[in-house]
Structure 1
């Protein structure tokens, strides 16, 4: 769920950001998605309504043919251009009030208002769940039968049908999405055993997750401060290391042999150091 929560930040939707992750039955991640326009289309948060109104856009494909030239049907004998309706809405727009920020607009909200409808089909974006599922189709099939869907918002009717079709077993969500998806789609299987199980997520996400799991310091260092216990070099190994260094300066073979004999029988560093030191002092004289 933390992956889904983070992925929603990639969304270019200016209304609501949603993230989703699909896994197999073993919770191995198979795809990640967020609500956004199809690939190679410009996200809503990067479009500026002034470019459409003033015909100042360098690339006309930033806006659809409908947005530029289409009409909204009012009745059998009357229709108005979408662009003119938008222009009217922004007639009193003061650019200075944005303080340099981009003036995006939601096509779905405007189109539904002009038609006096509430139609999800008008959205430019794919939903996060279907975007994740389509990644699998796009880049290579992965079986999701009996798998899981993690989404920051419970799926709508359209995404619920796709999850049902793919055989998703569990759907975990954070925020409930308004609609009849659960009663109308997810609980409507002929065999109730095949119905996806919807579960609200309980746990830490976002910054809370980071605070809960991000340690102040490495736990190993914390244990050292709390217990004072750290690994120690065995005395025998320490004696051997010191002896190796000191013996490199000793020329007396009898001393070398004596040190090796002591290393095999005794762990005492003091005895070895004393023996080698006396030998080195004799050599100095």
Structure 2
């Protein structure tokens, strides 16, 4: 046995002698893939996971392991389940899972702890059968044709950790189903109508340090899938297209919608806004790019200030945000009005003003947390959508009518009326914008119902997200050989981009260290 191992070792050394360093490094690249799933509660998440698992197994010959992160909550729970009085058992169980996850993250002061527990399991499975010394020698760690699906990612820290460790081998699938369908799906779980809105809000965003933030995590996906009961029949085709991009196993080009959203994201980089960079693009009914826009301060003579302007008067050069500054002044004026109003004296004011500075600070803080914080009209910036509409109207005439607008962020109610009057029929976005009153103020002309055809439809973008657009649509491998398209063996093809298998155990080991530091694992 020792002679066989010695001969095998000599053969391996001999093979490496004729290789360049680049070839040696390339040979360590792993086939392993790691897919994160992020979806608001009630979405058709199982449909996507089942499709991913089936295609990876049958077409690409991968072993697939689905890791239920909620299972870690059950394994390390701090409290026993209790039925909430006056609530249904279904609601009580969902809330228990969410709050128990929060409690675990809070106890160990670690928002990615559930993912770290999953990473620990992956590391142990990779080194299974190896002795302690063998496991430390990274040359003994071999690539496996294996795919892990993390079901599901609930906050940014979980996502960032997975991206930091698995980098080029990790992809996030963000899944969205229309709100009415999500509510209908949840009603089938025996939730009361009054409980559905509550659980949806709790799942998407919790305003505490250790809560869930599905809304904020969803926007950072590599692939965004809008899955409804009407389009789920073609889900296999759509997912297979994404996988072809990961493996470069077919010649795939971007759709008009993907090109437009990438153009919008690129335009956002022009913005110097202190609040957020927003980009927009508009395409005609036939898919022709009409214009791009971004949010920034307008300048005399037309268009927006840019880096080459000598008289650049944007907020970045003035040192403060105009919108925030004027909202602060509004709060101060309200406080002054209270001080001078005779009807408030004796309640929490006297002739000198507020009784004490603490009371003053509390009232001021509460006013700032009120709907005053949602005011947007004091901004000096032209919004990205408006910039794209104005520029497009100047250059393209009537081509904008029945066109589509792509924006990195959900449009505000100020932009909504301009979108309507411009004749645009569809708007696609990635990031939500909770300040928007689009539907409240323009319910006669705007809808989020994808089946409605007599209003402007505002829909979540569907397709390859901008973040890896150039990687996916830039060819790495040769497409032809002797003038013919290269035939691909789907059962053995490796991912288009990958990292060295030898680096993974070292990086995964950091999760072990963190778990030991917080006392969840023993030495």
**TM-score grouping bracket, smaller chain normalisation:** 0.5 to 0.7
Distance 1:190 1:19 in 2: 21
**What's the offset of the Cα at 1:115?**
1.7
- Contact 2:446–2:458 (8 Å) recurs in 1: no
- What pairs up with 1:15-30 in 2 under 5 angstroms? 15-30=275-290
Query: In the alignment, which residue of structure 2 is the partner of 1:215?
Result: 475
Structure 1 residue runs of 4+, over 4 Å off? 40-47, 190-193, 221-227
Residues of 1 paired with 2:438 and 2:285: CA distance? 21
Tell whether the 8 Å contact from 1:13 to 1:44 is kept in structure 2 after alignment.
no
Equivalent-residue separation in structure 1 for 2:287 and 2:396 (angstroms): 18
Please tell me whether the aligned partners of residues 146 and 168 of structure 1 are also in contact (alpha carbons under 8 angstroms).
yes
Residue of structure 2 equivalent to 1:106: 321
1:32 matched to which residue of 2? 292
Within 5 Å, give how 1:72-221 maps onto structure 2. 104-116=319-331, 117-118=372-373, 119-139=375-395, 141-189=397-445, 193-220=453-480
Larger Rg computed on CA atoms: 1
For residue 112 of structure 1, report the CA deviation from its aligned partner: 1.1
8 Å Cα contact 1:44-1:106 kept in structure 2 = no
| Unmatched tracts of structure 1, length 5 or more | 48-57, 65-100, 228-285
Determine which structure has greater relative contact order: mean sequence separation of CA pairs < 8 Å that are 6+ residues apart, divided by chain length.
Answer: 2
Shift of 1:223: 8.4
| CA deviation vs aligned residue, 1:54-109 (integer Å, no higher than 9, x gap) | xxxx96x8489xxxxxxxxxxxxxxxxxxxxxxxxxxxxxxxxxxxx988321211
- State the aligned residue count: 180
Cα distance 1:221–1:8, how it changes in 2: closer, same or farther (>3 A)? farther
Could you tell me how far apart the structure 2 residues matched to 1:160 and 1:222 are?
A: 54
TM, length-normalised to structure 1: 0.53
The answer to whether residue 9 in structure 2 is matched with residue 9 in structure 1 is no
Structure 1 CA distance, aligned partners of 2:308 and 2:330?
Answer: 25
Gaps of 5+ in 2: 1-260, 332-371, 488-523
Asked if structure 2 preserves the Cα contact closer than 8 Å seen for 1:33 and 1:132, the reply is yes
| 1:189 Cα deviation after fit | 3.3
CA–CA separation in structure 1 for the residues paired with 2:471 and 2:385: 27
**1:108 and 1:123 in contact (8 A); partners too:** yes
Contact 1:130/1:159 (<8 A) preserved? yes
